[in-house]
Each structure stands twice: as C-alpha cells, then as structure tokens.
Structure 1
Amino acid sequence: MPLTLQRRHLLMHGAATLVLAAIPVDLSAARISEAADRRFVESLLRRMTIDEKAGQLSLFTAPFATEVNPVTGPPPRVKEVQAMVRAGGAIGFFGSHDPAFLRSLQKIAVEESRLRIPLIFAGDVIHGLRTIYPTPLGEAASFDPDLCYRTARATAQEASGFGLHWFFAPMVDVARDQRWGRVTEGAGEDPWLVSHLSQARVRGFQGPDLKAEDGMLACPKHFAAYGAVEGGMDYNSVEISDVALHQVHLPPFKAAFDAGALSVMSSFNDIGGVPSTGNRHLLTDILRGQWKFPGLVVSDYESEKELIAHGFAGDEEDAVIKALTAGCDVSMQSGLYNKHIPALVRSGRLPIRIVDEAVRRVLRVKQALGLFENPYRSLSPDRRAQVEGTPAMIALAREAARKSIVLLKNEGDLLPLSKSGKSFAFIGPYVSDTVHAFGAWAATGDSRKVVTLEESVRSTLGAGARISFTKACTPTQPIDGGIDAAIAAATAADIAVLFVGESATRSGEAASTVSITIPPHQQALVEAVVATGKPTVVLLKHGRGLALTGECLNAQAIVATWFLGSQTGHGITDILFGDHAPQGRLPVSFPQSAGQQPYYYNHRPTGRPQTNPSQKSHKARYLEVSNEALFPFGHGLGYSPISYGPTQLDRDTVRKGGTLLVRATLTNSGKRTQHEVAQLYIHDRVASITQPVRVLRNIQHVDIEAGQSHMVEFELRPGDLAHIHEDLANEADAGWFDIWIAPDATRGISASVRLI
C-alpha cells in the first residue's frame, strides 16, 4: 500500500475533522485458514515426529556472524543453526536482518528438512527498522491513529526488505508509573487511547494482506498487566484486582486481536503469584475461551525458564509442563521445549494432545502468513535497496516527529521563534547528538542519517544567521568549563534554547529508575542558563513523564520532544520556528514529584478527596505537594488560544441501549489556524464499583481558522457508559453521568445526563 494518507475526513464548517470511528478494523487480512487448509495442517501434524513438533515450538536468536570463510566454512554457530534447521528443530529465528543469510536458512528448511516446513523470521522492530520514527510513547502524543497506522505500515514495508515476517510489537501495556522504563514502548496511561492506537499499529504492521511481501505478523505484548509492576520496577510482581485487570489492562489486547493480530507475547511478571507464562486462566480461559483467539502465544525471552526463579516451577521439566499446559505455545530462546518435550511426552507426564494443539496453532499462523505457498516471501535479496529509507519514509518520519511534540508552556508567546532579527544560543548535550536520537529499541537504525538539531537550525536559518551551539555537558557527565561556556553563549544571545533530558539508556527495558527528573548535572546547566535572565526555551528529551523542578519551571517555554528518531532536528525546527504549530497532547501525566507515582488522571475518588488546594487536613494528599499534575494527561498548547464553550447534550435522560449526542463550540481567538484535539470524558457519579473521576471516551481532530468557531460533536454509545462489575460483566449502571468536552483531563465545562 502506498505511503499516502489513509484517513477519512469529515468536512464540517470548512474544517477537517478526524473521527476515530472512521478508521475501520479489517479482520480479513489475518483470518486463520479455512477447512481445506486445516486438512493440510492435520495431515502434516500426523507425519511429524515428537522432536519435529518440539522444534516447531522453539524460537531462537539467529547468528550474528554469517560470513562464510572460504577455507574453514561457516562459523560454528552458523553450522549449528543449519543443522538445527535441517532436522526441523526450530519454528524460526529472530534478531537477524540479513535477507541473504535468512534466505539460505529457508532454503535448507524447504529443500533439505524432512517435512519441508518453512521457517518464520522475527525481530524486535518497535518504531522502525532503519528509518526510525518517534518512540511509541512519543508518537502516542499525536493522539492520531492514522499517523500510527502509517508509520507502522512504512515500518513493515521497510522491514520486508530485510527478511522479516514477524514483529514483537506493538507494546500495548497501560503504564501508570513513570518510574517504569518501558513506559516509552507503549501509548501511555489511558486504556481507551492505548486500545485505539494499538489497533492502528496492528493494522499497519499486518497490512491489507498478511500474505503479501510486506505483511508482518503483529505480536501485542506483554500479556498481561506488565505495566502494573509494583514500584515501576521492571520484571516485578503485580497485585491487582480482577476488575482492574479487565477494565484497564486487558482491553488494549482485545482491541489488538479484534484488529487481526494472530500472535501475542506473555509477560515476565506474575499476577497475584501466578507468572503469566504459566497462567492458564490468562492464556487459555480468557484468551482462547472467552476471546476465541486463534493465534499463537510466544514466551518473552526465556520467561518459561524463569518460572523456576519465580518459585512456580521446580525444575526445567516442570517449567515446560506448566508453560505448555497453561497455553504458551512457543519457547523463546531457552531451548527448554526442544530439550524436554520429547522425553516428557514419552514418559506420559505431558499429554501429546497439548503439544499437538500448540503445533497446530503454529502451523496455522504460518499458513496465514502464506509461508507454505511462498516460503521465500520477504526474502528477495534485491528488495532491501528498493524499500530502505525511501523519500516517502523520510517525509513520514519528519511528519511523525513534529506531530509528536507537545508544547507544555509558552509564557509571553515566546514561541514560535522568528527566523530573523534575533540571535540564538543552542545549548545542551543533545544539540548536535546522533547517538541518543532514537531512544530504546532502535539498534538497527541508521544513526548516520539522523538529522540533528544543529543541522536543521543551520539549514532553516541559512548563512548569516546569528546562532551558536554549545554542548556544555554530555548526557551523563559534566564537562570542565561547560557551564561557563553555556552562560557566555546565553549572555551573548537574545534567546537561549536548552536541549536536555534523558539519555537513550535511561529509558526502555531494564531502565526503571527512582528519579524521573532531569539528570543533576544537566539540571545545574538549566539553573545557570535560566539565571542569566535571557528568554529561555527548554526542549526535553525523554521516554516518560518527567517531574520537572527548579529553574526549568521558570523557563518561558517548555517543549516535550521525547525521542523523535531519524528526523529529530527537522521535527523540532518545524515547530520551533513556526513552519508548523504544535498539536501533540500528553499521553501520560507529568507529576510534580516522583513520590506521587503511580500517578494517572483516571484514578478513583476517595472518601476524603481534596477538592481544592487549601484543604490540607485529613484529606487524601501528600504533605509536600497537591494532588494536581504538573502537566495533566491530554495537555498540549498550540500557537493560537482555543476556548471551549459549555458541553451540550441533546437530552437530559437516556435509556440503556440508547445514544447521546454531545456538542461544544470551540473558538480560536488567535491569529493563525490551530489544530485542536478535542477530548470527550465521562464520570459515573454512583456505581456498584466506584468509577474513575474521569474516563476518556473519544477524541476529535479539528482545524480551526483564526477568529473562527467550530462545533465538535460526539455520539456516546451504550458501551461508552459501561464499566466492569464485580462479576466481570461489562454494563452501565443507571444513574447520573457527568460529561465533558475538554482540552485535557482536568478542564472543560461539564453537562449531566441521567441513564434510566
């Protein structure tokens, strides 16, 4: 599919409006094969030995050294893998992006193995392979499913030239604790937003035809509730109620499966003492029983082996039995399935029917990918040059970068900056940096093609511009004399632009932290520059919501720029100098302090709420800070002020099963067109289980011309007022609901409706 706009537009009052409901979910691309193909699978299954069945349930890393010495032959690891493939000992491999080598393995599989079962090749392609787009959390700030679809589609097109069939993405965990490093991989703290953006990414990865060269099997992860690990510590335990599990953490997975995803990855964590990879209730009762999921489950890296460290399995054999019996079909990397399944089946400890059902699911997914029909799909050696880093992909990366940027503060309308008449001092460790542009999970990105902020500023302002660039410190260490140089540069300029924040290594897997502030040596740089009194813009590099402190908060402008990928510099300058206005919105709350974590807007009310900051005695609050976010979920400024009129309803009562129209008038009192993201929230005042103070139920993108007003309209449907009950039924309670159309999760003028 060409990289053109896929969104549907509604033209209302001359403004283009994107409505999520206009983006269809197409399940046809990923349907499991029909009866004729199932007969083929059953025939193949009957001919397989127990060792070959174990092989189809075992996934391994591919060799990194693939060059063949003409004298000694292939490296030992390559020889080992070739022998494994010849014996039918693997479902496939992950981690290699060498299509020629992967094609050679496929040739062995389909020409030299006994049953000619093709391999599947996988990769951790999270936000681009060579062309890197913003990290998923950054892209989620666009609040734009269409953008997420297009970057996912482009990623699939590019990766298809590198021999891949299967992505370990998207990450759909709802993350409410910014200490957790893997917040950066997902779409934030709100289940509704995570669900819709995840659907878009699944559809983008898999494309309109999963059997096509660029159709990639999506793998939502991590099933389940990994975003709820205690203390925000990676790999930690999870203690949550069934209601929270079903209302918050499972909906994004169900949405991804509804979009056609045919694989899912189990999570490292336990839930209430039962590790996910051995959790039959999750992997069988819910996934296969309630949801009728037809695809395969793959463990996270050696997570079936980690059942032993959890204290859930006594040894490797016990771990294999419990993982397979729970419903984990494929073992990633540990080799335990290959090692133990044959003997366990022969001894009678592991029923062959459990093994057969897992193998059946694997073979059907390979059929859905078209591998039996065309085992060399996505393995053409000459396709890489055709699909790698195309001009359309570069343009899309730039668009995604600027649409991900969130303007948090703009005192005195300092931004946008003028391209002439002013001098600028660009200061900080990321001004000329290429190493940290990508963020986590982008090891295959081409850092040589990163556009830095310095490069983009120079090309934007041209020769003769009065600009300076001062590193001042590294991302992790101070530089002798760096602060003095920064002060001198700022003093000599009209405006200072600081580019500070997290390094790529402080965000991602195994990057949980108790400190979610700007690193101390960079904070010292901020303090010194702001103290010069020069108007200052702070650009933040980060993969989580930050707790900003000190003089950073006194800067006239603060901009969340996340990890923006290959087009970092151009994305920022597009916004900084006003070629485009910022339109991003926060997908996570920025807290006042790390001590507030976990912090999220859609929390439940308490019996002693703090209804205003002056109430300090015997209220649900901390001694040091109020309960408000520093910057709330959904927050984001533009370059023209937009005011929201009162929320209006087409009726004051609605029957269960009925629909409700909700409207508000938005007015642009500024001097330029503003792209606004109107957000629809609800609150159930009295329910059988207390409900969050607000819950997001829809969004609408609208362009409003200067001096003009525009009415946005939403339709609330029966399911929008429902919640999970104690018996896990999802239904609405009769009673009063508050409804807001608002610019973020804390504002708006509400209206009320009674459900009868």
Structure 2
Amino acid sequence: MTKQELVDLIQDMSLEEKVNQMLQVVSSFYSEETVITGPMKESGFTKENIAMAGSAIGALGAEKIKKMQSDFIKQQPHHIPLLFMLDVINGFRTVFPIPLGQGATFEPELSCRLAEVAAKEAAVSGVHVTFAPMVDLVRDARWGRVMEATGEDPYLNCCFSKAMVKGFQGEDIKEPYRVAACVKHFAGYGAPTGGRDYNTVELSEHTIREFYLPSYKAGIDAGAAMVMTSFNTIDGIPATGNKWLMKKILREEMGFEGVLISDWAAIEEMIYHGYCSDRKEAAIEAAEAGVDIDMMSGIYSEHLIHLVREQIIDEKLVDEMVYRILELKNKLGLFENPYKDADEQKEKELILCKEHRELAREAARKSFVLLKNDGVLPLKKEQKTAYIGPYVDNRNLLGAWSFIGQPEDVTTLKEAAIKWHEANNTVYCQGCAVLGNDIKLEGFTEQTEEEISKELEQKMLQEAIQAAAKSELVVMALGEHRLQSGEATSNANIQIPKVQMELFEKVCEVNENVVVILFSGRPLDIREISHKAKAVLEVWMPGTEGANAIMDVLSGEYNPSGKLPMSFPYCVGQVPVYYNEYSTGRPYVEGKNKDRFRSKYLDIPNNPLYPFGYGLSYTRFSVSLVKLSKDTMKPKEKIEASVMVKNEGAVFGTETVQLYIKDVAASVVRPLKELKNFKKISLNPGQSEEVCFTITEEDLQFLTQKGKWESEAGKFVVYIGTDSTTENSSSFILND
C-alpha cells in the first residue's frame, strides 16, 4: 500500500477500530495453545477488543498461525491482518549460545548470521516480529537478565546491536525469511538498584547518555522497526510514560520513526510506581509519551476512546500511532500476503537442519572462554578420565529464554564425549543434582528437578568420589540451573549451588587434576573453583550443539578464543564491577596496601577475579610495544596505532587484539580506559602479523561539560593488548 492508501484506510476506520489496533493480546485468545512470557492476569478485554486487536504475542507454527490469521481477517472490519510477535532471543528451535555468550565471541558478524538463521526459522513458523535484540548495558551480575545482553562495554554492545538488527531484518523486512527486530528495553533497564529486577534505576543524565543510550541508537541507526519501553523509572518517571525519554531522546534526537511498544503490562505498572492514580491516567501518560502498542494491559482499549471523545486526547495523536502500526504491517508485506513466510513444508526443511546445527556448533565453541589452564587441556585420549557433575548427562543447555528449543534436540556432554574417548578409559557420574533439595525456585511453572532422597544423594556422591580417585583426570560439568538466570532471577548469591560445591570439594580431595566446565547465564563468584581446579572453561548456556562444541574444545580440535564480555567478580560484594570505571581522587595503588586512606576494600581486592576482555588459548601470543604513526593530531586527522602479534606457542590459534583509549584530563571525569576497536587474528605457530588500528577524532569524542558530544584537546593514551588490564601503551596529543 502507498502512504496515501494507509492514510485513507485510517480515515475510514472507526475510532474503536483504531484504538484496538494499538492493543496486543496473547494468542491464546485466538487459540488455546500458546507460549506465555509474562504474568497472565485478568485484563478485562472484551470480545470486541480481541476481534479488532492489532497484534498477538506467543503464537508459533505455520499451520496454526495461518488459520488464526485467516479467521481473524474475515471478521476484522477492514480485513487488516494481525502482527504475530514472539521472543526469539538466541535462536528459534535451533538454539545458539545466550547473547552474553555471543558477546564473548567478539565477533558481531557471527551474531548477524545467527540472527539471520533465527529469523528464517521463526518466519517460516509464521512469526513477524521478534522482541530482540536486548541491548541493555549490564554491569551487575546479580541481575539475571545479563544473560540477554552482550556485556558491560558500550562499544561492544553497539557492534552487536547493529549486527543483530541486520541479521533479523536484512535490507528489507519484506524479503523472504526476515522478521522485524525490536530493540529493548528503552532505556537503562540494565542498571536496576541492587541488581533486583524491575527495580528503580538511578542514573545521571550524563551517565545514561554516554554509556547506556549508544547501543539503543546503534540498533535504531541499523533500521530496527520497533523499540520496547523498559519497566524502570528514569529520573523518577516510569520509562513508559516518560516524555523526555520517548519524545525528545528516542523520537527527536535518535530519529526513531518506527513502532514503540510497551513491555508486558508496563502501562498499567505506572500505577504501581505511584506515577499514575488509575488506568485512565496511565492511558493518557503512555499515549502522550508516544507508546503505540499496549502489550497486555488493555488500558488503551478501555480508556482511549472516551479520552478522545472527551477531547483529553487528540484523535490526531491516535491516528499517528495507528499509522506507525499499519506502516509496519505494510513494510512486512502483510496487506498483500498476510501469512508472509509461514510455510509448513519449509518448517520441516529448515528448522534444525544440518546447516543450522553446524552454525550453532561453531557459535558455541567460539563463545567459550578459557579462564584457567595449568597445562591439563587439551585432553589426552590415553588418560583415564572421569566425567562428573549434574551437567554431564543433562540436555538443559538452552538458557532461560530459549523456550522454543526442546531438550530432545540437544546432545549431552556424555554422548559427545563417548564419540571421542576410548570407551575403556572413561567413566560418567552425575555426582549430585543441579540444585539440591535446599533450593526451590519459586514462581516457575516449569518443573526444575525431582527431589532426591538423602540415601540416593549419598550414593551418587560416593560413586563420584570413587570414580575420581581411580582416574588420572576429572572433568567436572557444573553450574547454575538454566532457570537461575533470566527475567526475574536476581540473586544476591552468585555462586554455583551448594550441593555442587560440596561435590567439587570432595572430588578435589581425591584428585588434584580437575577441569571445570562451567555452565552459567551470568558471571559467577568462582574463587574456590578457580583456586583448586587446574583448568576452568566458561561455556555459558551454549545451546543445541553446546555439548559437541565443548568436546571440540576439550579435545583440542578447536582452540578456545572467547573473551569475557563482562567481568567476573572476586565476590558479590564488588558488584557492579566493570573495567571502564572512573578514577577517584584517592585511587588505590598496587603495592600500597598499608595506605589506609585509599578507595579500596579492607577484605577483598578491588579488581575482579577475571576482567573484561580476558580469555586464554592453548597457545601463547606476544604483543609488541604500541607504535603510533605520529604523536600529535588535529581534529580532521587520523593516527595509525599498530602492534606486531606473534603466536609463540605450538598450535594454531586466534587472538582478539583490543584497542583502548584513555583521555588523561577533560572537562568531565573520563573512564580509566575505553574499548574503541578490536580485531581477531589467527596465526600458525611462529607466525607474526601486524595489527593496525585507525584512530579518528570520533574515537575521542564524549559528552563534555557543555552537554555536547565532542572531543577536547589534550593528551590521550592508547593501549593495545589482549584484555582490559593491558598496560602496553603509547600516547599522543590532540590539538585544537
């Protein structure tokens, strides 16, 4: 349809029809089978509302959606099709590593490919819009939703934000196998006070603009069709009714022209925030902030018609919002083909196909981060090896938001290991449950584990200890339960469950050669594990092909190359902990522990256990001193910064060379260092290669005291190394 045809359509629609285009309901209102991702509640929808709703959430399956769409269009007054939306986060039925794991690849182009495959599987299943990517900046590991983000660094997040949007949408969302992307959660959702989900966010305007907003803008600049509001407040005002945030920042400054959707019942939650007195006032605030779609509160359907007729809300405002919704449907081509790519035969051909599984395996192994290795990895086939732990024979490797994936699609670590090992050299023991009887995950409809009797618990433990004692090496598969991270899973204790730690301690008592494979959706406190284990491999929640990928790495078939996208704290008392913090007037100086009057803890280190950008390899890389093409530059000039990187080890490997910059003195305090670029380089043993970065004035810009995004003359330090702690540096002066 042309723009004028859309305008004419809106003019011909009744007010009731227009307002209900702004309503999103769960697909169970049209079919009994559905996937629910939010708290179901009585919302007071009428049959008339549902018959004219603009979109549905939770449906999947080509046959089912085509029938829903066909039935809906027949009774809709203007035969306007529904938009079908779903949370397709890190894959559809083929599940990839969680987004935090994808961040560890430092390979945005890979995530672009993953999003493209996820879009393809979702599209043939009838989905039009995915609620991804989540680009919230995350610094606090207590917050369960860090698993959905790509880490603590604004630059890295921007790279992945752009890549994922492009992967989902391509160049034109009307093309086959494309879905509309939704950048979320706008804005600052990743910084809840105390790491507690849905909690207040306290960020200065300077901090939110410089650190938190860039990744949203990157996704919008990449063409994201939709943005979702966040649950939190900004400057004391809930984001969903925050006119400064949605009108000035999102619409005016960022130039976003697409659809703005509330998160689940977020319009209603403004009442509970204490910002709106009732549902009517919430409707006014959300509409005036420009929220186009009300997800599952029914407030718009209940009140906007009366508000327009009472001349409290201008009908032109409603028309603008409805236009954006219809424009998205038009961009997807739904007026010509309301089913788009839904195709039962293509579902059978594409979902979980060999190509998609191979990509899942590649992504998983690239996401793994080798945190420690005292020479015990890779494994040796001739070694007598015991695989011990609750993740040895476990198919729940998909992550909390991978509800479309099925455990039966997943290979277990035991199954993958059997393919590689000599059968008479290995033994496999569960050792304990993932959680143990002392932990109950409340509020989950999904069953976590069956309770294990004390007798069986002891038997499993003794079997594991005996197996460990008789083996040369133990591989322990430990970690969080998949439902311990994700939405509404804030934790003050970020260690692995107690029952697993007891197993680990007992095994270490009888065998000092322990390798830990760590499954998690967040950085964990692993001090004891790191201290006692000979090797630690962080594998996140790795997805459908995770176990095969783990054996690729353990066996040495693939050399690990992942880097931490988020710092692992020494303990929970440090969080939020992140590399690009500000210095203080009394910074802690290494070696001066007796100087009491410094910004430091008395009982723990300041530094995280493992920093941002960190990750080992089976080989060793050396990085030469930083070489700059000149020591001064002017605003329109460039500087080349280079190093020679050499593979000093005996095997082929890949290193991520990272460029950081520090602004020594400025009109506002600057971070200790900031990631500005990175390059992955693969080298054979003994091979050297120059890695060169171009530094422009744009890399030196920040939000100055004037409130402008600009650079300031002065001294800059350039660091190039293999993680954020590198001190390998050189400096230059920026002149006016």
Q: TM-score, normalised by structure 2?
A: 0.94
8 A contact 2:468–2:511 mirrored in 1 = no
Report the counterpart of residue 290 of structure 1 in structure 2.
Answer: 253
Q: Distance in 2 between matches of 1:754 and 1:465?
A: 64
1:301 to 240, 264, 270: 264
Residue 12 (structure 2) pairs with residue 47 (structure 1): yes
Report the counterpart of residue 538 of structure 1 in structure 2.
Answer: 516
2:380 to 393, 415, 418: 418
Residue 276 (structure 2) pairs with residue 313 (structure 1): yes
* Aligned-residue offset at 1:67: 7.0
Report the counterpart of residue 31 of structure 1 in structure 2.
Answer: none
Of residues 727-736 and 247-256 in structure 1, the stretch that sits farther from structure 2 once superposed is 727-736
* Aligned-residue offset at 1:227: 0.6
SS at match of 1:528: helix
Report the counterpart of residue 155 of structure 1 in structure 2.
Answer: 118
Residue 7 (structure 2) pairs with residue 37 (structure 1): no
What letter corresponds to residue 412 of structure 2 in structure 1? T
SS at match of 1:531: helix
Q: Distance in 2 between matches of 1:170 and 1:53?
A: 28
Matches within 5 A, 1:656-671: 656-671=635-650
Residue 704 (structure 2) pairs with residue 725 (structure 1): yes
Report the counterpart of residue 412 of structure 2 in structure 1.
Answer: 452
Q: Distance in 2 between matches of 1:55 and 1:213?
A: 28
8 A contact 2:183–2:227 mirrored in 1 = yes
* Aligned-residue offset at 1:532: 1.7
Q: Distance in 1 between matches of 2:689 and 2:29?
A: 56
SS at match of 2:85: strand
2:316 to 348, 353, 360: 353
- Deviation string 1:682-730 (CA, Å, 9 cap, x unpaired) is 0000011110001000110111110121110000121101111234311
Residue 290 (structure 2) pairs with residue 327 (structure 1): yes
Report the counterpart of residue 620 of structure 1 in structure 2.
Answer: 599
Q: Distance in 2 between matches of 1:240 and 1:67?
A: 42
SS at match of 2:557: coil
Report the counterpart of residue 440 of structure 1 in structure 2.
Answer: 400
Report the counterpart of residue 627 of structure 2 in structure 1.
Answer: 648
What letter corresponds to residue 440 of structure 1 in structure 2? A
* Aligned-residue offset at 1:280: 0.6
Residue 651 (structure 2) pairs with residue 692 (structure 1): no
* Aligned-residue offset at 1:81: 9.5
* Aligned-residue offset at 1:613: 4.2
* Aligned-residue offset at 1:664: 0.6
1:193 to 153, 156, 167: 156
8 A contact 1:317–1:340 mirrored in 2 = yes
- Deviation string 1:110-132 (CA, Å, 9 cap, x unpaired) is 33322121111000110111111
8 A contact 1:132–1:566 mirrored in 2 = yes
- Deviation string 1:95-140 (CA, Å, 9 cap, x unpaired) is 1113222212222343332212111100011011111111000111
Report the counterpart of residue 468 of structure 2 in structure 1.
Answer: 490
Q: Distance in 2 between matches of 1:684 and 1:52?
A: 55
Q: Distance in 2 between matches of 1:552 and 1:743?
A: 20
Structure 1: runs of 5 or more not aligned: 1-35, 69-76
Of residues 612-621 and 302-311 in structure 1, the stretch that sits farther from structure 2 once superposed is 612-621
8 A contact 2:372–2:530 mirrored in 1 = no
What letter corresponds to residue 24 of structure 2 in structure 1? L
- Deviation string 1:380-427 (CA, Å, 9 cap, x unpaired) is 33321122111100000111110100000111x2111112x1111001
8 A contact 2:247–2:290 mirrored in 1 = yes
Q: TM-score, normalised by structure 1?
A: 0.91
Matches within 5 A, 1:192-341: 192-341=155-304
Report the counterpart of residue 338 of structure 2 in structure 1.
Answer: 375
8 A contact 2:527–2:609 mirrored in 1 = no
8 A contact 1:507–1:543 mirrored in 2 = yes
SS at match of 2:563: coil
Count how many residue pairs are aligned between Structure 1 and Structure 2: 705
Report the counterpart of residue 143 of structure 1 in structure 2.
Answer: 106
* Aligned-residue offset at 1:483: 2.6
* Aligned-residue offset at 1:65: 8.7
Q: Distance in 1 between matches of 2:101 and 2:531?
A: 21
Residue 473 (structure 2) pairs with residue 473 (structure 1): no
1:61 to 26, 38, 46: 26
What letter corresponds to residue 63 of structure 1 in structure 2? S
* Aligned-residue offset at 1:551: 4.8
Q: Distance in 2 between matches of 1:108 and 1:482?
A: 54
Report the counterpart of residue 443 of structure 2 in structure 1.
Answer: none
- Deviation string 1:144-181 (CA, Å, 9 cap, x unpaired) is 01110111000001111211000000000000000000
Report the counterpart of residue 118 of structure 1 in structure 2.
Answer: 81
SS at match of 1:105: helix
2:532 to 554, 562, 574: 554
Of residues 104-113 and 182-191 in structure 1, the stretch that sits farther from structure 2 once superposed is 104-113
Structure 2: runs of 5 or more not aligned: 34-41, 438-456
Report the counterpart of residue 546 of structure 2 in structure 1.
Answer: 568
**Aligned residues: CA RMSD:** 1.6
Q: Distance in 1 between matches of 2:707 and 2:359?
A: 42
SS at match of 1:751: strand
8 A contact 1:530–1:552 mirrored in 2 = no
Report the counterpart of residue 37 of structure 2 in structure 1.
Answer: none
Report the counterpart of residue 7 of structure 1 in structure 2.
Answer: none
Q: Distance in 2 between matches of 1:82 and 1:158?
A: 32
Report the counterpart of residue 17 of structure 1 in structure 2.
Answer: none
8 A contact 1:138–1:405 mirrored in 2 = yes
- Deviation string 1:569-601 (CA, Å, 9 cap, x unpaired) is 101000001000001000000110100011000
Q: Distance in 2 between matches of 1:515 and 1:212?
A: 46
8 A contact 2:434–2:481 mirrored in 1 = yes
Q: Distance in 2 between matches of 1:299 and 1:83?
A: 22
- Deviation string 1:440-493 (CA, Å, 9 cap, x unpaired) is 11111021010110000001225x341111101111116223332221111111
What letter corresponds to residue 502 of structure 1 in structure 2? E
- Deviation string 1:224-250 (CA, Å, 9 cap, x unpaired) is 000111111100001111111111110
Q: Distance in 1 between matches of 2:149 and 2:650?
A: 35
What letter corresponds to residue 404 of structure 1 in structure 2? S
* Aligned-residue offset at 1:748: 4.0
- Deviation string 1:182-224 (CA, Å, 9 cap, x unpaired) is 0000101001001101111110011233102311000010000
Q: Distance in 2 between matches of 1:205 and 1:584?
A: 24
Report the counterpart of residue 427 of structure 1 in structure 2.
Answer: 388
SS at match of 1:599: coil
Query: What's the % identity of the aligned pairs?
Result: 38
* Alignment CA distance shift 1:83-1:466 (3 Å): farther
SS at match of 1:305: helix
8 A contact 1:494–1:534 mirrored in 2 = no
Report the counterpart of residue 452 of structure 2 in structure 1.
Answer: none
8 A contact 2:656–2:678 mirrored in 1 = yes
* Aligned-residue offset at 1:747: 1.4
Report the counterpart of residue 742 of structure 1 in structure 2.
Answer: 721
- Deviation string 1:543-585 (CA, Å, 9 cap, x unpaired) is 1111113254221101101000101210100000100000100
Q: Distance in 1 between matches of 2:211 and 2:358?
A: 35
Q: Distance in 1 between matches of 2:489 and 2:18?
A: 37
What letter corresponds to residue 418 of structure 1 in structure 2? K
What letter corresponds to residue 705 of structure 1 in structure 2? N
